[in-house]
Amino acid sequence: MDGEIKFATADGETADSLVHGRDTLDRPATVRPKTVRWFAVVGLALLVVLGALYGFNWYRSKMIATFFANNKPPPAQIAAVTAQTQNVPRFASAIGSLAAVHQVTITPEVGGKVTAIHFTAGAVIKAGDPLVQLNDAPERGDLGNYEAQARYAATTLQRNSHLANNQYASRETVDQNQSQLDQARAQIAKTEAIIGQKLIRAPFAGRLGIRQVEVGQYVSPGAAIVTLTDLKELYVNFTLASTWRGQIALGQKVKVTADAFPGRVFSATITTIEPQIRADTRTMSAQATLDNADEALLPGMFVNTAVVLPAETDRVVLPETAVDYTLYGDSVYVIREDGTDSSGKPILKAHRTPVKVGQRWDGNTAITDGVKPGDRVVAAGQVKLQDGAQVVVTGNPPPQTPANPTLH
């Protein structure tokens, strides 16, 4: 009470409590503006930082691009050639083997003990030269016996023929004496033949191989004594697909190369064509004769053969070094002008161009598609090029290929 007036509300709250409640509600209104200002300052700072980072990155990217734009690598130096047309030789290539025209293994016709050897292994001999002597003493003894019989038969025949003419001997006796003489002469001829067989001679001129007998050794008929080969002339045997039949004929030249003689080309001539096609492989066999005067090649060697065919005319030809061979196809770099520089000189760029490759020979390549006559093509330096790269043509000639490479 104490003279203090209090007002009650409908809920029984006093006016004093209302006053204090209103005071409490007014406090957030005074704090909210400060919080908003703080968030605004922080957000502005973040925007400034992010803007600075973005501007820095943009400026750095621009400067890097400007640096590389002003620091382009110098044009690649290359050697170039101009595509030209010419006649292109054509070949039917195959793998062949060599065989001797005259080759034999010397063997005895009759058995016997070796009494003398008249040759040296590896020597060059002439036809008819003696090689080996077999023991012929028994046959020479038989020969003397048959010669004595022949002499006796001849004397008897002469005497009885004289008597028969005077009617003192019969004609039958004369006939018997003639028969005995003929038999003796036949035995002489047979024995001389056996004696001749026991002196083994060279059937033709050539080079001997390794000796396979010794003095005192008994050899049977057919036993190998030594090989004899005429190396002056060889056969080249090879096979081709039957589709080549219309372009292969007797007398055509064949270029022959061997790995044992890199860079050297031998010449042969087709002398035989097998008149039948093999049913299992559909290939035909051919044989060429090769002059081997220096005896460089040996029978049994594998060789690469290329039958010379009529040439193709007006084909685009490039050095083989100009073609880039890859698993994805063959290509060349064609040089084209792309404007001019500040001094007025034309800017040259190399463009990769797919091509189709034809015959290859002597370091040259025939191009059947992709390059026209007169096109300038990169002949050396392709390794450092990309499509559209700027180039400078030097005065250096393209690299030279080895002389007389293997034909393809």
Q: Is 353:371 a contact under the CB 8 Å cutoff?
A: yes
For residues 80-85, give the mean pLDDT: 89
For the chain, the average pLDDT equals 85
pLDDT digit string, tens, across residues 90-118: 889 999 999 999 999 999 999 999 999 99
**Interatomic CA distance for residues 190 and 153, integer angstroms:** 18
227 CA to centre of own chain: 32
pLDDT digits (tens, 9 = 90+) for 149-162: 999 989 988 888 88
Q: Is the pLDDT of residue 408 over 50?
A: no
CA 337 to CA 345: how far, in whole Å? 10
Q: What is the model's pLDDT at position 396?
A: 67
Strand bridging mode 302-319 / 364-369: antiparallel
Indicate the SS3 state at residue 35: helix
Q: pLDDT confidence of 8, banded at 50, 70, 90?
A: very low
Determine the average pLDDT of the residues in 2-14: 47
For the chain, the distance separating the N- and C-terminal CA atoms, rounded to the nearest angstrom, is: 132
Please check whether residue 315 is in contact with residue 86, taking contact to mean a CB–CB distance below 8 angstroms: yes
Least confident span in 95-109, 216-230, 310-324:
310-324
Assess whether pLDDT exceeds 60 at residue 381: yes
Give the predicted TM-score (pTM) of the model: 0.64
Give tens-digit pLDDT for 12-32.
Answer: 444 454 444 444 444 545 556
Distance CA 189, CA 35 (A): 144
